[in-house]
Amino acid sequence: MPDDYGDLRQLGRTRIGLIWQLAQAGVDLEDGDRRLAEVLRQHPEYHHVWEDVESLAGEISTLDGVNPFAHVLMHHVVENQLADDDPPQTTRALEALLKVGTDRHDAVHAIAAVVAEELNDMVRVERVFDRDGYVDALEDLARTARQCRRRGRRAGKGGRTGRR
Domain count within the chain: 2
Whole-model pTM: value is: 0.84
Predicted confidence pLDDT, tens digits, the chain (164 residues): 456 677 778 888 889 999 999 999 999 999 999 999 999 999 999 999 998 887 765 666 778 888 899 999 999 999 999 999 999 999 999 999 999 999 999 999 999 999 999 999 999 999 999 999 999 999 999 999 989 877 765 555 544 444 33
Residue 162 contacts residue 108 (beta carbons within 8 Å):
no
Q: How far apart are CA 150 and CA 94, in angstroms?
A: 17
Residues with Cβ within 8 Å of 115's Cβ and at least 6 positions away in sequence, in order, are 74, 77, 78, 134
Cα 82 to its chain centre, rounded Å, is: 11
Question: Taking the mean position of all CA atoms in its chain, how far away is CA 109?
Answer: 6
Angstrom CA distances, 72 to 2, 34, 68, 150, stand at 27, 13, 6, 31
Nearest-CA neighbor of 112 among 163, 69, 153, 159?
159
Q: Residue 70 domain-assigned?
A: no
Q: Domain range spanning residue 15?
A: 1-61
Statement to judge: residues 161 and 106 lie in one domain: yes
Q: Are 141 and 100 spatial neighbours (Cβ–Cβ below 8 Å)? A: no
The answer to whether residue 79 is domain-embedded is no
Judge if 55 and 94 occupy the same domain. no
For 37-63, write each residue's pLDDT tens digit: 999 999 999 999 998 887 765 666 778
111 and 146 share one domain: yes
Contact in structure between 157 and 102 (CB atoms under 8 Å): yes
